Chain A
Amino acid sequence: MAAYQENFFTRGPSPLARVTFFGLVAVAVMIADHRFQALSVVRVGVSTVLTPIEHALMLPGNVVRDIGAYLIAKDKLLAENKALNEQVLMLSAQGQRARLILSEQTQIAVLNSANERFSRDGVVAEIIRDARNPFARRIIINRGLSSGIKAGDAVIDGVGVVGQVTALGMSSAEVTLTTEKDQSVPVMIVRSAPATAALPKSAASNAATLATEMTAPGTEIVAAESAPASRAQSGLRAVAVGGGREGTIELPFIPVAADIEVGDELVTSGIDGTYPAGLAVARVTMVDKNPALSFARIVAQPSTAPDHHRFVKVLTSTGTSYPQPDVKTYDLAGSAKGTQTKREAKREAKRALRDR
C-alpha cells in the first residue's frame, strides 16, 4: 500500500519548492563557474574519482592499439626512421642558429635588465581522448596539477599551437583547442617571401648569378628586386579567434584595406604572455574583401591537427612571463612622484628655515 500512503504523509518541501531551490543553486553554480572560475575545487575532486575509472575503461582499447603498433610493418618504421633522421639534421641547423640568437638575446636582456620573456619549461603529455561534449572542442591530456600544470598554460605540439589548459584535475587536464569559439590567440601575419628574398645577401647574389647563367638578365632583375618589394610586407598584428564547429580560425575586425592574402601564415605574436612568440597557428585560406562591409572576412586553417598524434607539450608558465611595465620608471612617473616631491618640498622648507 506504499503508493497510497506516501501521498498522505509527504515529508519535507514540495517538489515545486525543491525544483526552485535546486534550479537556483544550479544557475548560481553556472554563473560562478562561467564568470569567476570559482569552483575548480569541485572539478578537481570529482575528476580525481572519475579519472581512474576512465583509465580502467580505456585499458582494453589501449592494449589492442599497443599490440597493433607492436606488430606494425618493419618498412613503415624504417621509413619513419629515415624521415626523422632528416628532420633531426634540419632541426640541428635551426637549433644552432636559435642558440646563437638566444645568446645574443640574453646579452641584450642583461643590458636591458629585463626579465627573460618566456620560460621554456614544459611538460610532455599524452592525449587521452576528446572531451565528451558535442558543443566543445577540447581534448583531455594525462597530466594535471600534480605535474605543475596551471589553468591558462599554453599547449603546443611539433607544428604549432594546439590550445590552452582550461580545466584541471590531479592527473588530467582539459585543453581547449584554438578552434573553439571563445578561444583567441594574438597573432602576427608572416608572409613567406619568395626564395631569393628570404636568403641572406651572399646567397641571394649566388642565386642571382645562377639565374643570369640560366636565363636572360632582364628576368633576373625582376626576380631579385621587384619580388621582395611587392611581397615582403607583413607583420600585421591581429587576434585570431576560433571558428567553432567548422574547425577553422578567423581573424575578425580586420579592415578591408589590410595587407593580407591567401597563403599568409599566422604565428603567435607573444604579446599576451601566454603563447611564446613565433609558433605557427594557422594559414590563411580565404580572404573575402567585400567593400560594402567595413571588415574583411578572413578564414584560416589551423596548422596543427591534434587528432592525428598523441603527444603535446604543456608550457608551464612562470608568474611574470610577459613583458612587465618597468617598475622603476613606473615609480618615478607615477605613484612615488607625489610623495617624493612632498618630502623634498618639506626638506627644502626645513633647509630654508635653518639657513635663516
Chain B
Amino acid sequence: MDLSPVSRDVLRPPAPLRLVLVSLFAALVVSLLPWAGWMLQARPDFVLLLLLYWVVHEPRSIGQTWAFALGMVMDVADSALLGQHAFVYVVAVFLTQLLRIRILHLTVAEQALHMLGILFVAQLLYVGLNLSLGRDFAGLTLALAPAVGAVLWMPLHFVATLPRFRRRSDAVMM
C-alpha cells in the first residue's frame, strides 16, 4: 500500500523568495541576449517558463500580478506592443493555476507534457495577437519554441529542487 503523501511537494521545503526572484531575473537576462534569425523564432520564453515553474511550486508568492508585470517588461524588451506579453503570461499562469494540483502529482516528464500544452497555447495567443495587428506570419519555426521550453522544464526542475537552494531550517521543521 502506497503511504506516500498525496502531493509530492508536501515534504519539500519552500524555495526562498530570493531564489525565485534571482531565477526570474536570470531568465530575463537570458532573453535579453541578442537573439536573431531562426534562433529568435525558436527561442523559448524563458521568463514565462520560470514564471510557470514558480506558479506550480510557490503559488503563494508568484501569481498573476507577477505575470502581468513581467509581461510588460518583456514587451519593452522585445519591442512588442505593450500588453501583448502581459496578456499571454496572465492567461498562461491562469491555465497553470487550474492544472496546478494535477501537475504536482505527475512525474517530471508528464509535467513537461502539460507545460508543452500550456506553452503552445501561449505561443498561439501571441502569434494570433500579432496576426490580428496585420503582421506577417513569421514562419513555422515559431512552433519550436514551446517544444524547447517543455524540454527545458526537466533540467529546470532538477536544478530548482537541488538541496543547496533550500533552507535547512524549514526542512527540519517539516
Contact = CB atoms under 8 A, between A and B. Distances in A.
B159 interface: no
Contact of A22 (B10, B29, B82, B86): B86
B4 interface: no
Contact of B138 (A1, A132, A245): A245
A43 B82 contact: yes
Secondary structure at chain A's binding surface: helix, strand, loop or mixed?
A: helix
A30 to B, nearest CB: 4
B79 A182 contact: no
Interface stretch (A51-59, A66-74, A224-232): A51-59
B10 A26 contact: no
Q: Which of B36, B72, B83, B134 has the most CB of A within 10 A?
A: B83
Interface string A28-55: 1110111000010011001100100110
B106 to A, nearest CB: 14
A306 to B, nearest CB: 13
A61 B63 CA distance: 36
Contacts of A278: none
A121 to B, nearest CB: 26
A39 B72 CA distance: 11
Given A33-B83, A50-B77, A132-B78, A22 B68 contact: yes
Nearest to B8: A3
Contacts of A54: 32, 34
Contacts of A19: 64, 90-91, 93-94
A133 B67 contact: no
Given A3-B9, A135-B135, A182-B134, A42 B82 contact: yes
A26 B69 CA distance: 10
A25 B68 contact: yes
A135 B72 contact: no
Nearest to B138: A134
A28 B81 CA distance: 12
A38 to B, nearest CB: 9
Contact of B83 (A4, A29, A131, A133): A29
Nearest to B133: A34
A1 to B, nearest CB: 6
B143 to A, nearest CB: 12
Interface residues of A, number: 47
Nearest to A11: B60
A29 B86 contact: yes
B47 interface: no
B90 A23 contact: yes
B76 to A, nearest CB: 4
A46 B73 contact: yes
A34 B133 CA distance: 9
B133 to A, nearest CB: 7
A68 to B, nearest CB: 17
A47 B73 CA distance: 8
Given A15-B64, A34-B133, A134-B41, A26 B7 contact: no
Given A2-B14, A22-B90, A58-B34, A29 B82 contact: yes
A18 interface: yes
B64 A30 contact: no
A27 interface: yes
A131 B79 contact: yes
A22 B59 contact: no
Given A50-B76, A244-B136, A22 B64 contact: yes
A347 interface: no
Contacts of A1: 10
A127 to B, nearest CB: 11
A140 B35 CA distance: 13
A3 B14 CA distance: 11
Nearest to B63: A18
Given A135-B130, A181-B135, A140 B79 contact: yes
Given A19-B93, A19-B94, A42-B82, 9 more contacts: A3-B10, A15-B64, A18-B63, A22-B68, A22-B86, A30-B82, A57-B34, A61-B34, A131-B78
22 contacts: A3-B6, A6-B60, A15-B97, A18-B63, A19-B64, A22-B64, A22-B68, A23-B87, A23-B90, A26-B84, A26-B87, A28-B83, A29-B86, A32-B82, A42-B72, A43-B82, A50-B73, A131-B78, A132-B35, A132-B43, A133-B78, A138-B79
Pairs A-B, 3 closest by C-beta atoms = A29-B83, A26-B87, A30-B83
